[in-house]
Structure 1
Amino acid sequence: MKTKIFAGAMLLATLSATPMFASSDRSDLDDRLLQARKVIDQIASTPDKGIPDGIVSHAVCVGVIPSVKKGAFLVGAEYGQGVVSCRTGHGWSAPVFIRLAGGSFGFQIGGQATDLILVAVNDKGFQDLLKSKFKIGADASAAAGPVGRNAQAGTDIQLNAELLTYSRAKGLFAGIDLNGISISQNQDDTDLYYGTKGENFETILHGKQPVPASAKGFVGTLARYFHIARSR
């Protein structure tokens, strides 16, 4: 046990010194939105291998974490920065920024960085994304999402899962088990992006914050792919 604790401490110390933990600037955030938009564009280009229509039309919120990185020092870990937007009565909301962190679970293909997508399928999933931090599988129920335009989500997924989780690497798109991964609000990056202090995630995700010009590409792509708006 002491060996594992020491290894974990050394991992955090090592990762903390790497660029992925460095402070962001505005250009980093704009690029994150651009990369997230590209992930959705790439999934949209292969609809028969993408997210089923039944999920696309009923998605409440979508989180995109492009190019999740993997670091290893005695033990493995994943780390990523992403964005979230939620469906409102008048379209998709302005984005907020999130972080992903967790132990190694082998979702990467050939060592390549992997894109992740989180789809909240009900209001419980939306409420999860309003928490300052939550762990998938412990604080929020999740399931590997089904793939294929006409694929049907199983009854257990529809009734029990709050989030459906997907990965994309080397052109392959598939559902993935992300149990044990932690998702947290990135308040610093959200404040930086909007130029305010303590920007409220709920206010933004409920659509009360205008979509900034640099986020319109990402939000517009979500609106085209995750179609059929529903009031919440």
Structure 2
Amino acid sequence: MSLLDKFKTGAKKAGIQATAFGQKAGVTIASGSRDLVQGFSLPGEAEKAAKILDSFLADPDRPESALNSIPKAVLQSARGLAVFQILKAGFVFSGKAGSGLVIARLPDGSWSAPSCIATGGLGWGLQIGADITDFVIVLRTEDAVRAFSQGGNVTVGGAVSATAGPIGTGGSVESALATTPTPMFSYSKSKGLFAGLSLEGTVLIERKDANRDFYGSPVPARDILGGRVPPPEVASRLYEIIEAAEGLDESGLPEEAYVPNEAGEHLVFDANGRD
């Protein structure tokens, strides 16, 4: 085969690969866009958040799923939860958009009505592809909840910091809760073509329009998260998922946890504390 023929063959293969890549990226973007559109209203956000949270928490019908889930102890100690989805796509320049909601635990142990949030932005870099990432941020302190209650913007890593949270069961999870002072634990599950999306520097914005449209008046986030608005029926599935995960029976499960170190890498610990 001549050099010219080799060049033509290589170019043809590259064209086929580029076409396949474009089709796959298009499917990813279209799928993510449908989810985002569904979630533009508060009822849609509540439905989407319930599905996302369900994928992060242990299934009571399969207790062993706790070994690869947000720990029960983390959930029980949470002062609030932010659940959202981000669609990111790029070709040299990149853009991202996402939406979700935040809820807070009230003094009586119940959960507040949800307040809608959104994020977006532009970036630059040698990144090609599309990715849909689901996030759960566990708000561990009243200061973290207050940051979302004040309205306006919350910058992750700014006024309130976040680190990767532990996964699994056992004493190592309890130790991480006791020794990690960060106000927020972050968890993510990514699907699609794009990897490595970080929350650092992400700005989450209160969606006053969505809250107003659903609650019928411009209710501020502090009133929604402070319990001054009754929890709506559309969020009942979300509350049920949390309640079921908090009531999970972990007796008989092996102690196995993935606890992040200072670099954010998860180390594996068993009942003897070995990694």
The normalised TM-score by structure 2 is 0.63
* CA spacing shift, 1:155–1:210, aligned 2, 3 Å: closer
Decide which of 200, 204, 217 is 1:183's aligned counterpart: 204
Number of the residue aligned with 1:81: 99
CA distance in 2, matches of 1:93, 1:37: 15
CA distance in 1, matches of 2:214, 2:206: 13
CA distance in 2, matches of 1:155, 1:217: 27
CA distance in 2, matches of 1:219, 1:155: 23
CA distance in 1, matches of 2:179, 2:208: 31
Number of the residue aligned with 2:240: 220
Number of the residue aligned with 1:202: 222
* CA spacing shift, 1:146–1:213, aligned 2, 3 Å: same
Matched, 1:34 2:34: no
CA distance in 2, matches of 1:117, 1:26: 16
Farther-moved stretch of structure 1 (123-132 vs 187-196): 123-132
The alignment yields a C-alpha RMSD, in angstroms, of 3.3
For 1:1-20, what aligned pairs fall within 5 Å after superposition?
A: none
Are the aligned partners of 1:94 and 1:210 in contact in 2 as well (CA < 8 Å)?
yes
**Which letter does structure 1 place at the counterpart of 2:244?**
R
Number of the residue aligned with 1:128: 147
Runs of 4+ in 1 over 6 A off after TM superposition: 23-27
For 1:58-69, what aligned pairs fall within 5 Å after superposition?
A: 58-66=77-85, 68-69=86-87
Are the aligned partners of 2:45 and 2:116 in contact in 1 as well (CA < 8 Å)?
no
User: 1:24 Cα shift?
Assistant: 7.2
**Which letter does structure 2 place at the counterpart of 1:89?**
P
CA distance in 1, matches of 2:71, 2:164: 13
CA distance in 2, matches of 1:129, 1:157: 24
Are the aligned partners of 1:56 and 1:226 in contact in 2 as well (CA < 8 Å)?
yes
Decide which of 213, 234, 256 is 1:192's aligned counterpart: 213
Are the aligned partners of 1:135 and 1:182 in contact in 2 as well (CA < 8 Å)?
yes
User: 1:55 Cα shift?
Assistant: 1.2
User: 1:142 Cα shift?
Assistant: 1.1
Structure 1: 5+ residue stretches without partners: 1-18, 171-175
**Which letter does structure 2 place at the counterpart of 1:121?**
R
Q: Deviations over 1:87-115 (max 9, x none)?
A: 11230011010012345699xxx844111
For 1:112-127, what aligned pairs fall within 5 Å after superposition?
A: 112-127=131-146
| Secondary structure of the structure 2 residue equivalent to 1:224 | helix
* CA spacing shift, 1:112–1:26, aligned 2, 3 Å: closer
How many residues were matched structurally? 200
Number of the residue aligned with 1:137: 157
The normalised TM-score by structure 1 is 0.73
Farther-moved stretch of structure 1 (27-36 vs 53-62): 27-36
Matched, 1:72 2:85: no
* CA spacing shift, 1:126–1:224, aligned 2, 3 Å: same
Q: Higher Cα Rg: structure 1 or 2?
A: 2
* CA spacing shift, 1:24–1:112, aligned 2, 3 Å: closer
CA distance in 1, matches of 2:161, 2:135: 17
Number of the residue aligned with 1:3: none
Are the aligned partners of 2:89 and 2:96 in contact in 1 as well (CA < 8 Å)?
yes
Structure of higher RCO (CA pairs closer than 8 Å, 6+ residues apart): 1
| Secondary structure of the structure 1 residue equivalent to 2:168 | coil
| Secondary structure of the structure 2 residue equivalent to 1:139 | coil
| Secondary structure of the structure 2 residue equivalent to 1:138 | coil
Number of the residue aligned with 2:70: 51
Are the aligned partners of 2:144 and 2:184 in contact in 1 as well (CA < 8 Å)?
yes
Matched, 1:154 2:173: no
CA distance in 1, matches of 2:46, 2:135: 14
**Structure 1 vs Structure 2: percent identity of aligned residues?**
23
| Secondary structure of the structure 2 residue equivalent to 1:88 | coil
* CA spacing shift, 1:102–1:55, aligned 2, 3 Å: farther
